[in-house]
Structure 1
Amino acid sequence: MAFAGTPAHADEGAPKAPPTGQPDLIDSQDPGGRQNKLTDLKTWIIEQPGLENSGYIESVNDAAALSTTLLWHGPANDTQQAIIAEGRRRGISVNVQQRKFSREQLVTAVETLAGRGKDAFADFDLNSISGITAEFDGIKVQGVPTGKPAKKLNAAS
């Protein structure tokens, strides 16, 4: 059986171009594709062999400035230099912010506390744990005191 013509409803779900002279939604939300460029660089970074042992913790993007900041633990090395060079090749400014703790240390600390649950600390109900963040070098623990008096520590113990 053959059909001549296309039913009127065949393209109802097909994407439509914006009206002439109107920017599309993606372009208006990401002028110049800056966030896309940064996302593509991040994808390239996380695909690099040996990244987990390189000192790389995370990258923090600034789309307005078309830049990224590498959160880094330890000395500069070939991986760090390769990321900086790849960013430069893509027209992206790459900065490095040194950190005291490695990605592995931060993840281990979060997992350890999370494994202990709400009672991870005496006299304190644990509500949340934040691991890798741009604004803080370490982990953040949030919760509320239970109202019980704090236990005295014996200096002789």
Structure 2
Amino acid sequence: MKPGAGLTMRRRLLISAGVVFTAITGVTAAHAATAAVSEPTLQQPDTAATSFDAAFWHRQEQLVDFRGWTEGLPGIKTSGYVTSINNEPVDGSVVLVWHAPPDPVQRQIIDEARRRHIPISVQQRRYSMADLERAASLIFAMESGAGELHNFKISGAGSFSIDFDGVTVIGQYIHPPPEGTTAADTALTQTLTARTGVAVRIEHGELVAHHG
């Protein structure tokens, strides 16, 4: 990629804390108070690793392999699958995020997890990943400082969050809202929710761009 080319495009990013962010600047970004949905790059434990370390790496490899198997299933893209969250640092379990009624694909995933002795639970969601990505795109099409965003500058948006079923908009008010931040946030979330058809929440701050 040519120097600066990243500044002209919007890149989908997986940020730690279970939030899928798209940065307005289009460069690699991070945001404070975020956790992880993406799988970590597997590293080999060093030779001095304890039995606990070895068990951790073995569990991590199992979970990464299981997620790859899940996302390669026939019919997965037309099922209710949204994503899966691996809890390897906690208990080696998987949370299957689902937006539709149970179907044969979900049953197959649960059965395979049990066959592999991986604890699994289902977190039901209202929106599909397609719904969330469409809503984020609609928000990005709005111009900061104009229309619905006449007093708000967007820095980025999360199309998936572990703790919220909707789109998380990151940004700052251009001028202190005369009605107060809380009231302004409420009005803005209601406006954006009505516009996109997906629940929206506001987080104040900005994505920190990293070039390189």
TM-score by length of structure 1 reads 0.73
Select 2:152's aligned residue among 108, 119, 124: 124
Question: In 2, distance between residues paired with 1:117 and 1:35?
Answer: 42
Q: Distance between the aligned counterparts of 1:94 and 1:52, measured in 2?
A: 20
**Where do 5+ consecutive residues of structure 2 fail to align?**
1-44, 179-212
Determine if the alignment matches structure 1 residue 106 to structure 2 residue 132: yes
Give the 3 Å change call, closer, same or farther, for CA 18–41 of structure 1 in structure 2.
closer
Higher strand share: 2
Aligned to 2:174: 146
Q: Which amino acid aligns with 1:38?
A: L
The one of 76, 80, 94 equivalent to 2:120 is: 94
The 4+ residue runs of structure 1 with deviation greater than 4 A are none
Residue aligned with 1:132, SS? strand
Distance apart, 1:84 and its partner CA: 0.4
State the match for 1:33 in structure 2: 58
Give the aligned residue type for 1:67.
S
Contact 1:118 1:127 in 2 (8 A): no
Residue type at the aligned position of 1:123: N
State percent identity of aligned pairs.
30
Count of paired positions: 130
1:137 paired with 2:162, answer: no
- Conserved in 2, the CA contact under 8 Å of 1:71 and 1:99? yes
1:61 alignment counterpart: 86
Q: What TM-score results when the alignment is normalised by the length of structure 2?
A: 0.55
More relative contact order in 1 or in 2 (CA 8 Å, sep 6+)?
Answer: 2
Aligned mates of 2:158, 2:46 — CA distance in 1: 41
Q: Is the 8 A contact 1:100 1:137 kept in 2?
A: yes
Distance 2:57 2:156 in 1: 37
Q: CA RMSD in A?
A: 2.4
How far, CA to CA, are the matches of 2:141 and 2:54 in structure 1?
Answer: 40
Q: Is the 8 A contact 1:57 1:72 kept in 2?
A: yes
